[in-house]
Structure formats: structure tokens, C-alpha cells
């Protein structure tokens, strides 16, 4: 006999069924409650994750792929151009007429082949528009040494660009395409960046244009000993990303992706970007004058260690320790001495030695400033007139034998000096000049410091003055032959001048 009393069930088998159903209902209810409770937490987590889609859609048209090329002289017999000839490396240094030992004379190169040369790929990088009329920011190392620069937009349009100016010290370059209605990026404030903040990069890693990668700010003001403090991120940046923008979550450009710290050459989680405010200051000067004008005072400096600070009574590790004062420099005229510690420049505290060249570099040459130094247990203020830093770091270190003035490379990319008589006797040559420095066209042709130049085209070289006079009159639209002596080997090297 079975009787129902409310929720009770009889007999015993039915009681077991009802009990099971009740437990299942309780479990289902508990699970539903957990699900409802978990929804706000899941929604909060979803809201915390960034969505880059709208940001990328707005910024992507402003980012460009930069492809650079160089002019290579066509190779004749024994050259091949495919890298199969074991003597191709010698021709890269000594020109297409190099004859391997034991082989017959080279066949004449077909007329015209050496006049124009061939356009060969040189490198790939990135950049971004900073104005609607075609001005583009990128890295110096992306465009340095290129004969031609091509800019490709995301809509596949391609333009040939010209270099407005390029600054090696900061690795910033300004180029321009003849176009209107471009999409510029809005500069942000890199001083407001915080560790852990989301940022992303757009560029052409390994030539894969319009690639987006994201990460966080790892550090700000990262000091590498260069003229600029960098923004360090863990954004995936690889070869080809150089010159592309680093963007914050508002779509503003806060930096130019410039360097990676890597043992393999690929991304390893440490990327460095040039702060956009520093880059824009450089770009403004490049746009107005084609170069960056910096101040200098003429000292070699180092860090102040805790041990040194304690020993000289400074009390804290700050300032820049003066190791050497250049003769005749503004620092010498101001009375700065080796062993001084520079604590302030024009009222700005020098916390680290790297602060000094940045602070002085931003000062207009000719400015009268006050410099505070720590000397023999006390501070003293000195008056100094800021000089001008040489535009080319390499040229600043090169001096001619007479006036002691820094020389710049000529249109062939060469700085030369008269060949000493002892060297002429050693080489058994009548004349010639020695190469003190080579960059640009000469460096690409394989000429290097220490080589001896014996002839230019059909003219024998007798001295540096005569050589520079000949170079000043050459036709820049043609390739010219330079007869180069290196050790016991003499060969013609073709060079295309800069235009």
C-alpha cells in the first residue's frame, strides 16, 4: 500500500528515487547560483583585457613599409652575380676587373654596363607619417647609405622618397614623399608612460608589412649610454620593425621602435623605442636645416661610484666625473679641471653622467651658462660659453695635418691625406693619397681606411689637394674608376658618387 504524504514517498524503493531527484535538483540549483556569481567576475576580467581593433584600424593607414636599394655595378666574366664564384669577394673590394691568379685576362665589359649599374635590394624597414603632406619619421639606420628609398602604403600605393635629414646620434631620420592627404599619427606624451602599461607596435618585421604586435612597457628612461633615454617594452619587435611607431592605448605614437637586445638577432622580449618627444625635436631641426645642431663643452666624463663619492666627501653618487678636458675647449676656457665632478648645468641637476651630454646637447651653441662643479670638498660655479658639436661623429675625430679642423667626406665618400714619403718608398709608387675614412659610396664599393688611391679615372693622383679638386669637378651621374692599392694588390674600383 502506498500513501503520499506531502513530499514523502512510500514504499522504500520509491523513497530512494525521490531522494535522488531531490539531490539532483539541489545540485543544479547550486551550480546555477555559482554560474550567476561567476558572471560579474568573468565580465570584469573581459573588460580588463585590451581590444586593439579600433585603434589599429585608425593607426594602420599612417604606417608605411620602407624599402631601400643600392646601385651595384654590373659584373662581367668571373663575376656571375650569383655568389658562386670564389673570387667575388675580391671583386667587391677591388672592382669588377680583378683577375684571379692563374686565369686569363678578363673580357671587356659590354659598353654601358658600368655606367648605370643595377638596382639591388638593400633593406626593409618601417616608418609613419607625421604630417598630411608626406613627411615620414623613421630610423637613421633604415635609410643610411641607400641610393633609392621606396615607401609603400597600406593601400599598396608606392612612392619614391627623399631624405630631408638624418641624425646618426639619435638614430632618427626624416624623409618625404610627394603626396597629399596622408594620415598622420598624433604624438603622445612618453613622460606619462608607466611600467605595465599596454602598448603596441605596427611595422614590417622580416618584410611582412602592416604587422601588429602588442605588449607592455617594461621600463622608461632606459639608459644605454646614447644621446637618448629609451622606452623598454616586451612588444615583439624584429628586423624590419625599425622606424615603426610604438602606440599607447589612445592611439598616440609615444616612440619609434629602434633597437632589440638579442643574441640571435630576433625578438627576445627586450625592445627599445626612441621617445617621440625627443624624436620630434630632432625632426624639427632636420626639417628646418637638414641637420641637428648640438652644444658641446669638450670634456670626457664618467660615472661617480659610491666609493669615489665617499672618498671626496660628495655624500651621494651623482654628477659626472671629468676625466679629460680638451685643449682649447669651452670647458678649458671656463676653468674646468680633470677630477672635477659636474653637479649642475645651467641650474639642471646632473644625476648621472649620461645626463650631461643630453643637457648640453640641447643647449644652443653660443649660450652662456653656469656650471656647478665639486672640487676639493666644496662646490663652485663657473661661467661657460657652449660650443657646437660636430655634425658627424666620425668627422669630428678626423683632423688634417695642417689646420687641425675636422674634415667631411667628399661626394665619393672619402677623406684622404697626402701619402708620406716613407710610405711611397715602401709601396714603390710615385704619388697617391691614403684613405683616412670611407663611408657612403666608397664604403659600399669596399674601400676602407688605410687603402692608397693612385688614380681617378685616367688621372694620376699626386696629392690630397689635387685629388679633392678632381672629385669636386666629376660628373655625379656617372660611375668613376678609382685605382686602389691594398697591400701588394692594385685594382680598379668603380664608385657612383652621391648626387
The pLDDT assigned to 36 comes to 58
Tell whether 147 and 250 lie within a shared domain.
Answer: yes
Residue 6 maps to a domain:
yes
By C-alpha distance, which of 329, 337, 259, 254 is closest to 295?
329
CATH number of the domain residue 481 falls in = 2.30.42.10
Mean pLDDT of 383-390: 91
* Contacts (Cβ under 8 Å, ≥6 apart) of 152: 64, 65, 66, 67, 158, 209
Residue labelled with grid coordinates 653622467? 353
Q: Out of 68-77, 257-266, 457-466, pick the least confident.
A: 68-77
Q: Which positions are annotated as active-site residues?
A: 141, 171, 242
Domain assignment of residue 108, yes or no: no
pLDDT value, residue 117: 56
Gap between the Cα atoms of 122 and 72, Å rounded = 10
Most confident by average pLDDT, 39-48, 188-197, 317-326:
188-197
349 CB neighbour count, 10 Å cutoff: 12
Query: Between 6 and 283, whose confidence is greater?
Result: 283
172 and 306 part of one domain: no
* 453 bridge partner residues: 433, 484
Give Cβ neighbours of residue 4 (< 8 Å, ≥ 6 apart).
Answer: 10
Residue ending a domain, among 266, 293, 320, is 293
**Residue 12 labelled as part of a binding site:** no
Q: Please report whether residue 105 resides in a domain.
A: no
Please name the helix (run of DSSP H) or strand (run of DSSP E) that holds residue 455, with its range, or none. Answer: strand 452-456
Residue at 434 is within a domain: yes
Is 111 a domain residue? no
Q: Please classify residue 378 by burial: count the beta carbons closer than 10 Å to its beta carbon, then call 0-12 exposed, 13-18 middle and 19+ buried.
A: exposed
pLDDT of residue 78: 40
Q: Which of 213, 142, 206 is nearest to 174 (CA)?
A: 142
Residues 260 and 186 grouped into a single domain = yes
In degrees, to the nearest 5, what angle opens at C-alpha 95 toward C-alphas 89 and 100?
60
Q: Which of 355, 388, 421 is the last residue of a domain?
A: 388
Residue 107: inside a domain, yes or no? Answer: no
**In this structure, how many other beta carbons lie within 10 angstroms of the beta carbon of residue 73?**
22
431 and 328 co-located in one domain: no
Domain membership of residue 197 (yes or no) is yes
Q: 225 and 140, same structural domain?
A: yes
Q: Is 240 annotated as a binding residue?
A: yes
Looking at the DSSP bridge assignments, the partners of residue 378 are 375
Of the three residues 370, 388, 406, the one that is the final residue of a domain is 388
The secondary element (H helix, E strand) that includes residue 71 is strand 63-72
Residues 412 and 473 both lie in one domain: yes
When pLDDT is averaged across residues 379-383 and rounded to a whole number, the result is: 95
- For the cut 60, the answer to whether the pLDDT of residue 227 exceeds it is yes
Residue bearing cell 613599409: 65
Query: Whole-model pTM?
Result: 0.63
> Is the same domain home to 6 and 55?
no
Domain residue limits at 9: 1-49
Instruction: Give me the numbers of helices (H) and strands (E) for the chain, helices first please.
Output: 13, 26
Look at the chain and report how many structural domains it folds into.
Answer: 4
Lowest average pLDDT, out of 173-177, 428-432, 485-489, goes to 485-489
Query: Given this model, what pLDDT does residue 207 score?
Result: 84
Residue 6 in this model has a pLDDT that exceeds 60: no
Cα 195–chain centre separation: 23
> What confidence score (pLDDT) does residue 62 get?
96
- Residue closest to 127 by CA, chosen among 118, 113, 137, 142: 137
**Residue in the block written with cell 638624418:** 166
Q: Is 241 annotated as a binding residue?
A: yes
Residue 155 assigned ligand-binding role: no
Same domain, 45 and 60: no
Residue 161, domain CATH: 2.40.10.120
In a domain, 329, yes or no: yes
Residues 224 and 347 in one domain: no
CA 13 to chain CA centroid, Å, is: 83
Q: Are residues 139 and 152 in the same domain?
A: yes
In which element (H, E) is residue 172 found?
Answer: strand 172-176
Residues 279-284, mean pLDDT to the nearest whole number: 95
| 372 and 331 within one domain | yes
Same domain, 68 and 36: no
C-alpha pair distances (Å), 164 with each of 82, 140, 285: 35, 11, 10
Q: What angle do CA 217, 222, 227 make, to 5 degrees?
A: 130
**CB-based contacts of 458, cutoff 8 Å, min separation 6:** none
Amino acid at each position: 500500500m502506498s500513501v503520499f504524504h506531502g513530499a514523502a514517498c512510500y514504499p522504500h524503493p520509491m523513497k530512494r528515487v525521490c531522494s535522488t531527484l531531490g539531490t539532483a535538483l539541489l545540485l543544479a540549483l547550486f551550480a546555477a547560483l555559482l554560474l550567476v556569481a561567476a558572471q560579474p567576475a568573468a565580465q570584469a576580467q573581459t573588460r580588463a583585457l585590451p581590444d586593439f581593433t579600433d585603434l589599429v584600424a585608425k593607426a594602420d593607414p599612417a604606417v608605411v613599409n620602407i624599402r631601400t636599394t643600392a646601385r651595384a655595378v654590373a659584373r662581367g666574366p668571373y663575376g656571375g652575380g650569383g655568389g658562386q664564384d670564389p673570387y667575388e669577394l675580391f671583386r667587391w673590394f677591388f672592382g669588377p676587373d680583378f683577375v684571379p691568379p692563374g686565369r686569363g685576362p678578363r673580357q671587356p665589359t659590354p659598353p654601358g654596363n658600368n655606367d648605370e649599374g643595377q638596382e639591388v635590394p638593400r633593406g626593409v624597414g618601417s616608418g609613419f607619417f607625421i604630417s598630411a603632406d608626406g613627411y615620414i619619421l623613421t630610423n637613421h639606420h633604415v635609410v643610411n647609405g641607400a641610393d633609392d628609398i621606396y615607401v609603400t602604403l597600406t593601400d599598396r600605393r608606392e612612392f619614391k622618397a627623399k631624405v630631408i635629414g638624418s641624425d646618426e646620434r639619435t638614430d632618427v631620420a626624416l624623409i618625404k614623399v610627394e603626396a597629399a592627404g596622408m594620415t598622420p599619427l598624433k604624438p603622445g606624451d612618453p613622460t606619462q608612460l608607466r611600467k605595465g602599461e599596454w602598448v603596441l607596435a605596427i611595422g614590417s618585421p622580416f618584410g611582412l608589412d602592416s604587422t601588429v604586435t602588442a605588449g607592455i612597457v617594461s621600463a622608461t628612461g632606459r639608459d644605454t649610454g646614447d644621446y637618448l633615454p629609451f622606452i623598454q617594452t616586451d612588444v615583439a619587435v624584429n628586423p624590419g620593425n625599425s622606424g615603426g611607431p610604438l602606440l599607447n592605448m589612445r592611439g598616440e605614437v609615444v616612440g619609434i621602435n629602434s633597437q632589440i637586445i638579442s643574441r640571435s638577432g630576433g625578438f627576445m622580449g627586450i625592445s627599445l623605442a626612441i621617445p617621440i618627444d625627443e624624436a620630434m625635436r630632432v625632426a624639427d631641426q632636420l626639417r628646418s636645416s637638414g641637420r641637428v645642431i648640438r652644444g658641446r663643452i669638450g670634456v670626457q666624463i664618467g660615472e661617480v661610484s659610491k666609493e669615489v663619492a665617499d672618498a671626496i666627501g660628495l655624500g651621494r653618487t651623482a654628477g659626472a666625473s671629468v676625466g679629460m678636458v680638451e685643449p682649447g675647449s669651452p670647458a678649458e676656457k671656463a676653468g674646468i679641471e680633470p677630477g672635477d665632478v659636474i653637479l649642475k648645468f645651467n641650474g639642471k641637476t646632473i644625476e648621472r653622467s649620461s645626463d650631461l651630454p643630453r643637457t648640453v646637447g640641447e643647449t644652443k651653441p653660443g649660450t652662456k651658462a653656469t656650471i656647478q662643479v665639486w672640487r676639493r670638498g666644496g662646490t663652485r660655479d663657473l661661467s661657460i660659453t657652449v660650443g657646437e658639436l660636430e655634425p658627424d661623429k666620425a668627422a669630428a675625430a678626423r683632423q688634417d695635418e695642417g689646420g687641425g679642423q675636422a674634415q667631411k667626406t667628399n661626394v665619393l665618400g672619402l677623406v684622404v691625406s697626402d701619402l708620406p714619403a716613407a710610405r711611397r718608398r715602401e709601396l714603390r709608387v710615385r704619388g697617391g693619397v691614403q684613405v683616412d675614412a670611407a663611408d657612403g659610396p666608397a664604403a659600399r664599393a669596399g674601400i676602407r681606411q688605410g687603402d692608397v688611391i693612385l688614380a681617378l679615372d685616367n688621372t694620376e693622383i699626386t696629392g690630397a689637394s689635387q685629388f679633392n679638386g678632381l672629385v669636386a669637378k666629376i660628373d655625379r651621374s656617372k660611375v668613376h674608376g678609382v685605382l686602389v692599392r691594398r697591400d701588394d694588390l692594385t685594382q680598379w674600383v668603380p664608385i657612383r658618387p652621391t648626387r
